[in-house]
Structure formats: C-alpha cells, structure tokens
Amino acid sequence: DAMVIQNPRYQVTQFGKPVTLSCSQTLNHNVMYWYQQKSSQAPKLLFHYYDKDFNNEADTPDNFQSRRPNTSFCFLDIRSPGLGDAAMYLCATSRDGYQPQHFGDGTRLSIL
C-alpha cells in the first residue's frame, strides 16, 4: 500500500495560473519535504516541514509556497507558474530528518 501519496500524478496548467499539488502520508512521519526535479538533474529541495516548523531553502523562489495543515498532509502552491517551473515535483517524508526518506510517486507538472 502506498504510504506517501501525491495527487495528481499529472498536472497541466496555464502560464501564470496558480496550481496546488498535494501530498499525504500514512507513516506519521514528522518531516515532510518538497523537491523539484528536472530531467537528468538531482532532486532539488524546495522546503521542508519538521512538524509545523517550516524551513525554506535559500534559493527557493517566492513563487513557491507550502502549507502543512496537519501531520498527514502537505501542499505545494505555485502562485504564478512560469515555463521554467515545468518539472517533476516529489514529496517525501522522514521520521526525524536523519532517517531515509520515503518518496511519493511524484506529480509531473506541465505549463502551457
């Protein structure tokens, strides 16, 4: 059974139109992460939550926001998607941030 679930698997949006990607987990892990991965590149950490504490990476554009309303759910909001934001977005969880991360299947975002 999937333990980290991302919805949708594929998302198409228009240039500049806000989009929200969702992630849920059944592992009860404290830490949830959002990564952006482009073709042939490593996953790039955007931000993570340790419980309710939000940690933004220094180079994450302001266009990207996140919400974690409870332990199980975490959302990635892209306020005004640009063509350069087309990528795979991966959600991951970790028990404490030092243990291995468990990834969801990812959401592939396309921008028209």
| Rounded CA separation 96/12 (Å) | 33
Whose tokens are 């991951």? That residue is 92
In the complex with another protein, the residue whose CB is nearer, 66 or 94, is: 94
Minimum CB separation from another protein for residue 50, in Å?
6
Scanning 17-25, 59-67, 76-84, 96-104 for contacts with another protein by CB under 8 A, the matching segment is 96-104
Strand partners, 64: 78
**Considering the rule CB under 8 A, would residue 5 count as an interface residue with another protein?**
no
DSSP state of 83: G
SS3 for 33? strand
Residues 6+ apart with CB under 8 A from 15: 81, 82, 83, 111, 112
| Choice between 86 and 97, CB closer to another protein | 97
- We find the least distance from the C-beta atom of residue 20 to another protein, in angstroms, to be 19
- Quick one: which of 55, 61, 84, 110 contacts another protein (CB under 8 A)? 55
Where in 17-46 is the site for another protein (CB under 8 A)? 31, 33, 40-43, 45
